[in-house]
Homo-oligomer: A and B are copies of this chain.
Amino acid sequence: MSDYSEIIKKLKFNKDGFIPAIAQDDDTNEVLMVAYMNEESIRKTLGEKKVCYYSQSRQKLWTKGEHSGNIQEVKKVLIDCDADTILLKIKQHGGACHEGYYSCFFREIKDSGEFEIIADKVFNEKEAYKT
């Protein structure tokens, strides 16, 4: 089985060893969230076809949906011209946002200064993330 070293060595990680990854709905192209990956999370994501990020706050691998069930199935993985940002084309189960929305980008910045909510919740986040 490949350890994806050929891929890893072509990516440009930042000075802390991370690379930002955008999760995008493969059907609608809606942008769902942005998080960070390290080498190990990229290998795990490519191997299992289920998105695994690296949580900088918790300092550990973070398979999206491990608690909530809201996993992200990998359909395609794209890379930009500078090889320093990953675009994950995925099938999102449930919603991506820990606040109960399908996308983390559920607010529009208005010139007035207001952050206006422009989406409806798709799941009960208190239920999904209860411990």
Query: Which A positions have Cβ atoms within 8 angstroms of B?
Result: 2, 4-7, 10, 20, 22, 24, 28-31, 33-34, 46, 76-83, 85-87, 97-99, 101, 104-109, 111-113, 115, 118
Apart from A2-B113, A46-B109, A76-B108: 12 A-B pairs, beta carbons within 8 A: A7-B113, A22-B31, A29-B31, A79-B105, A79-B108, A79-B109, A79-B115, A81-B98, A81-B101, A82-B104, A83-B115, A85-B105
> Are B29 and A78 in contact, CB atoms less than 8 angstroms apart?
no
Evaluate whether A80 and B115 lie within 8 angstroms (CB atoms) in the complex, with A20-B20, A29-B28 already known.
no
User: Within the oligomer, what is the number of copies of this chain?
Assistant: 2
Report which of B2, B80, B85, B113 forms a contact with A6, defined as CB distance below 8 A: B113
